[in-house]
Structures are given as C-alpha cells and as structure tokens.
Amino acid sequence: MATYGYRCPWDGDFELRFAIGTATASSPCPTCGCDARRVFSPPSLARTPPALAAAIDASWRSAETPEVVSSVPARSREPGRT
C-alpha cells in the first residue's frame, strides 16, 4: 500500500491509500464528492526539519570537499574551561 495525494478545488488536499501502481488520476472528494485530481509530491521529504537538512547537506559536502581554512579556528567559549 502507498499513500497518494489528491486535491479538491474547494476542500483542499486529502490522501488515500491504494496498492502501489493502482492509484487513479482522480478520485471523489470525501467531503463534497466532486472530482479531485491526483497531486504529486515527494513523500516524507518535506518533514525533515530545515536545520537538520542543512546539517546533513553540510556533512555530505564536507565529506567530498572539506572546507579549507587559512587560520586556526577561534577558541570556543565553553563554561568551565580556561
């Protein structure tokens, strides 16, 4: 089973579950019954928090091409350290 998105022009988006490959191009809206067209979106990708996505991207970039620095990074200001 997979979840497919549909968009009613009056009631907005809703999701239906079908076996993979059996989703129809349109489906009746559960609210008003009108013909709702299927919409395509990348599943689950939008749920990644932006800060986490940025950190993952930075990690991948760093693995391929580490950032070049021209000086020693400044000392961190952690409490309890001298």
| 26 sits near Zn ion (criterion: CB under 5 A) | no
Residue 46 and residue 42: Cα distance in Å, rounded? Answer: 7
| 32 sits near Zn ion (criterion: CB under 5 A) | yes
- Stretch binding Zn ion (CB under 5 A), from 5-13, 15-23, 53-61, 74-82: 5-13
- Secondary structure E strands in 1-82: 2-8, 12-18, 26-28, 35-39
Select the residue whose beta carbon is closest to Zn ion and give its number.
29
Stated as kind and residue range, the H or E segment containing 59 is helix 50-64
Sign of CA dihedral 41, 45, 49, 55: negative
Give the nearest distance from C-beta 67 to Zn ion in angstroms: 51
Residue 68 and residue 59: Cα distance in Å, rounded? Answer: 14
Give the nearest distance from C-beta 22 to Zn ion in angstroms: 22
| 3 sits near Zn ion (criterion: CB under 5 A) | no
- Stretch binding Zn ion (CB under 5 A), from 13-21, 26-34, 38-46, 66-74: 26-34
